[in-house]
């Protein structure tokens, strides 16, 4: 049976790495992007080497109407969705006192609202199937309150995603739907230095992908509502270079 995976923000970065890895696992991919069309087409060409029916679909996931149209198109094309990876989410490193209302809204909506909208759109399909998985991409420390001067809105949003993961896992378990979260430490493209990490390096895309692949494997059949940090012991606010 064809397995269909939807990966948001998969034109670049971690999303791209996840999409390529899933294509090698036999999934047909839906590459979701907003403005990065050229990059999305390149990823699509790569995943089609393994999964020829894969497609790319544009949408601004901060807009609930666009999310609804996107999933309607996906379901029309494939009739099922087996995996949703909520990866999209902007990051802002700026003093809170200097953060504009528009910037605050963008961080909350791109991280929290986008995950909420996509989950709400896909869950009716998964309930009918009586199967499906959702993986939300969080951030190290998302399960606790983090008050960081230059990234308060981001952690506010990711903690929201953590709570969203927990309540949905509880409610949807009766339909054999599993919902988990993977929370990376700062990735190589972020603002930290290798010396800021206990292990001497940041997390890599490969580190995160390996955990995601475990969570969607049969071996993780009883993990639901979980949050796995991929951070090598890194704790936000500790060890940061001045």
Helix (H, G, I), strand (E, B) or coil at 33: strand
**Judging by beta carbons within 10 Å of its beta carbon (0-12, 13-18, 19+), is residue 204 exposed, middle or buried?**
middle
Are 140 and 235 in contact by the 8 Å Cβ rule? The answer is yes
156/192 Cα distance (integer angstroms):
20
Are 11 and 87 in contact by the 8 Å Cβ rule? The answer is no
91/138 Cα distance (integer angstroms):
12
- Annotated active-site residue 175? The verdict is no
* Of 55, 51, 48, residue with least CA distance to 77: 55
73/69 Cα distance (integer angstroms):
6
**Residue 52 half-sphere exposure, CB side, CA atoms within 13 Å?**
0
23/45 Cα distance (integer angstroms):
11
Are 30 and 221 in contact by the 8 Å Cβ rule? The answer is no
Helix (H, G, I), strand (E, B) or coil at 187: strand
Tell me 218's DSSP state.
G
Q: Cα dihedral angle (188, 184, 131, 217), rounded to 10 degrees?
A: 80
Which of these is catalytic: 154, 162, 221, 222?
154
What residues are labeled active site?
A: 154
């Amino acid at each position: 049976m064809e397995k269909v995976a939807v990966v948001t923000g998969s034109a670049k970065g971690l999303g791209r790495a996840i999409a390529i890895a899933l294509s090698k696992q036999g999934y047909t991919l839906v590459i979701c992007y907003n403005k990065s069309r050229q990059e999305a087409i390149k990823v699509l060409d790569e995943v089609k080497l393994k999964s020829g029916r894969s497609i790319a679909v544009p949408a601004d996931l901060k807009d609930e109407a666009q999310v609804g149209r996107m999933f309607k198109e996906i379901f029309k094309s494939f009739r099922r969705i087996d995996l949703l990876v909520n990866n999209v989410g902007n990051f802002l490193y700026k003093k809170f006192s200097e953060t504009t209302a528009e910037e605050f809204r963008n961080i909350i909506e791109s991280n929290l609202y986008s995950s909420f909208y996509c989950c709400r759109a896909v869950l009716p399909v998964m309930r009918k199937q009586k199967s499906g998985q959702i993986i939300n991409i969080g951030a190290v420390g998302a399960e606790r309150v983090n008050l960081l001067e230059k990234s308060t809105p981001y952690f506010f949003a990711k903690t929201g995603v953590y709570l969203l993961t927990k309540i949905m896992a509880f409610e949807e378990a009766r339909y054999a739907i599993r919902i988990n979260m993977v929370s990376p430490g700062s990735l190589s493209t972020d603002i930290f230095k290798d010396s800021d990490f206990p292990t001497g390096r940041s997390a890599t895309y490969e580190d995160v992908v390996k955990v995601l692949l475990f969570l969607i494997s049969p071996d993780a059949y009883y993990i639901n509502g979980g949050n796995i940090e991929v951070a090598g012991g890194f704790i936000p606010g500790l060890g940061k270079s001045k």
